[in-house]
Amino acid sequence: MQIGENARVVLEKRYLTRDIDGKPTESVEGLFRRVASALAEPDKRYDHNADVAAVEEEFYELMTSLRFLPNSPTLMNAGKELGLLSACFVLPVEDSMDSIFDTIKNAALIHKSGGGTGFSFSRLRPKGSVVRTTGGVASGPISFMKVFNAATEAVKQGGTRRGANMGILRVDHPDILEFIDCKSEGGDLTNFNISVALTERFMQAAASGENYDLIDPHSGKVAGQLNAAEVFKKIVDAAWRNGEPGIIFLDRLNRDNIVPSKGEIESTNPCGEQPLLPYESCNLGSINLTAVVKKGNGGSVIDYDLLGRIVDTAVHLLDNVIDANLYPLPKIEETTLSTRKVGLGVMGFADMLLMLGIPYNSEEGVRTAEEVMGFINARGHEMSRKLAEKRGTFPLFEKSTLASGTRYRNGTVTTIAPTGTLSIIAGVSSGVEPVFAYAYIRNVMDDTELVETNPILRRELERRGLYTEELMRRIIAEGTLAHIEELPEDLKRVFVSAHDVSPEWHIRMQAAFQRHTDNAVSKTVNFPNSATREDVERAYILAWKLGCKGVTIYRDGSRDSQVLNIGRVNRVKNAESYGSGAEAPAVIRPRPRAASLSGVTEQLHIGCGKLYVTVNYDEHGICEVFTNTGKHGGCPSQSEAVGRLASIALRSGISVEEVIKQLKGIRCPSTIRQKGLGVLSCPDAIAKVLERTEKVIREGGRSAGLAPQAAETPESVTFETAKMRFCPECGSQIVHEGGCITCHQCGYSKCG
């Protein structure tokens, strides 16, 4: 099996079966054999004479050739006792204490098995409502979201994947303004993506500047009015500031609800691509589009015969996943089997365009998206029809919106999901996103730096006699090929990166895939840091007009600046604060944080575990400190607070010596009875790393590159979740793709 080093590391770290000591007990090939065997077995249910061995071989070849991969829980759990194979779940949140905590329990069962959950909190009565049964006052949806978040945080420590949630609130809920801002200061909802559910009526009111009604979900009565245009601008402003909330167009989700008699679709999975009914789940998988590019007479072309065969086998495999699945709740099993939804998608689309010589941000690129996804969608439905002939339709078919037409095995067939980890295994670009970076530095043993280059770009540069490692280092520094003068214009036109693609082209590409997808498309619209709120607003309106079902945006660096803005002193003070006629003192403002910094991370032992301290510096000196605790580490909120305050002080002109003086020597009770720790507390540890780093800089380390003390080799570079510019597990730069945060180096994903 031909896979890259990155892929092998990710598979060994996250997917292979391990023994009680954590050692792998299967090979990479063994993993795919285990999955293929488990997924071939359901064929016996429909044909006692089925050649299960041949089906297993077909599935095994499909996966090991990297032409198709099912979603991560299937790779992790198929053929094992746990047996949960679906990635996406939606659970209802009813307006009662019993229901709320039943849902938290059910979500915990899903999270411990590796699934992600979506919730609509729109049924919960608004904050301040009277609760008749107790005479008390309701605390509102956001307060309960924090309880869900805390439960997820506790469960994910022992799971195979991180629990991830989607939290959705209707735009006509009375608490909508609080919801829009609920993640603006970070911290309380770190395990949630959030989206506002917009109705067509709201969008029309926003376009005309009219007011719209807020509806109390408990009574069903009008609870007030807001100006739609002002609320829309507030959503835009929050997204511009830190990327959240996203938006979903609720009426469009329900327009494509195949069984409206079973209820409304209220929510999606954590990345937004899979709308589901309450208690419904869906299993996803992605076709590697680079595998269907072949050489033709006039250059590279798409092999539609091969693509068709891949689609057929993939739909067969995904339908079998439904039967092989061990569901966490009987209600989820019942609901899932009643519609038998599957979500076949793609990865490597941007790489495929490169191989075809087509720019992503072009009419030809959009047309190719329509043609490829149109073919996959049509062929996928045809395969579902063939399966229905042999196996029967999904049980609710006669009650569905499809009943008067072709008989299908599956309620839905296609979904465009993010493929962060799967695309690493396959060695291709993620989902339908443009290439994020064409080259990066990999650190290996003995502090050796290797330049990693997109293989398609490398082959093209070598063909033209242009490849050098120095050129690739320039591309890394620039982040794009666009400004490298010696590169030919035709090459730069094709090899565009995510930030070379304007938001309009991001949206147009998403809309092209949406037109041929049953469910929805997970994609991130990347904006440069200089983008304005008006730019974001235009993108949202374009997505609405072009028929998208939702939008996630990210403005480069916005979450960095948001974190560092916490605690910022206002420029204008109320004069009364200083006495009548008194002039307010001059306000010291921290200097802006550079987009790229150098630094070092050290691992230290504290009284209650491990502490990782990262110190970064720019041309002016040390300017940033943050911390991360190990699995058993002590007081993360307090050490984070110390790091934030130290960072603001350092960037406001306070000397590093003064910061060290204030922190050094502080003692924590957990260190008193432990010998040989070397530090007295988390603040003392921070002070010592600051002291060592400053010494190295003074001695010329800034030009040579900092190196940590030999006695304390860092196990990993760790960054706080709110910043999310670098991976908290391996220290590589993370990317915002597919509605989520992903590390292309080690496979870390914020969304599970």
Whose structure tokens read 């997204």?
239
- What does each C-alpha distance from 205 to 210, 212, 251 come to in angstroms? 5, 7, 15
Instruction: Kindly give the pairing relationship between strand 342-347 and strand 299-302.
Output: unpaired
Cα three-residue angle 712-718-724, rounded to 5 degrees: 165
Show the tokens assigned to 593: 């944080």
Give bridge partners of residue 389 from the DSSP assignment.
Answer: none
CB 513 within 8 Å of CB 521 = yes
Distance CA 440, CA 706 (A): 19
- Smallest Cα–Cα separation from 543: which of 523, 572, 561, 573? 523
Cis peptide before 245 (omega within 30 of 0): yes
Distance CA 55, CA 47 (A): 12
Which residue type occupies 752? G
- Smallest Cα–Cα separation from 74: which of 359, 281, 337? 281
Long-range interactions of 402-407: CB distance < 8 A, separation 24+ = 402/258, 406/381
- What does each C-alpha distance from 378 to 186, 409, 414, 524, 577 come to in angstroms? 43, 14, 10, 26, 68
Give bridge partners of residue 347 from the DSSP assignment.
Answer: 288
- Smallest Cα–Cα separation from 516: which of 544, 547, 543? 547
Active site residue 668: no
List all residues 6 or more positions away from 695 whose beta carbon is below 8 Å from its beta carbon: none
Q: Of the listed 56, 244, 266, 273, which one is catalytic?
A: 273
Which residue type occupies 685? A
Side-chain half-sphere of 157: how many Cα atoms within 13 Å? 9
Instruction: Kindly give the pairing relationship between strand 735-737 and strand 136-137.
Output: unpaired
Distance CA 16, CA 32 (A): 10
* H or E stretch covering 144: helix 141-156
Q: How many C-beta neighbours within 10 Å does residue 714 have?
A: 17
CB 634 within 8 Å of CB 607 = yes
- Smallest Cα–Cα separation from 519: which of 659, 415, 672, 445? 415
Show the tokens assigned to 621: 């000196």
Active site residue 730: no
CB 348 within 8 Å of CB 428 = yes
CB 268 within 8 Å of CB 90 = yes
Active site residue 269: yes
- Smallest Cα–Cα separation from 171: which of 120, 207, 95? 120
Give bridge partners of residue 601 from the DSSP assignment.
Answer: 614
Q: Of the listed 71, 242, 244, 271, which one is catalytic?
A: 271
Instruction: Kindly give the pairing relationship between strand 130-131 and strand 136-137.
Output: antiparallel
Q: Of the listed 269, 283, 526, 616, which one is catalytic?
A: 269
Known catalytic residues?
Answer: 269, 271, 273
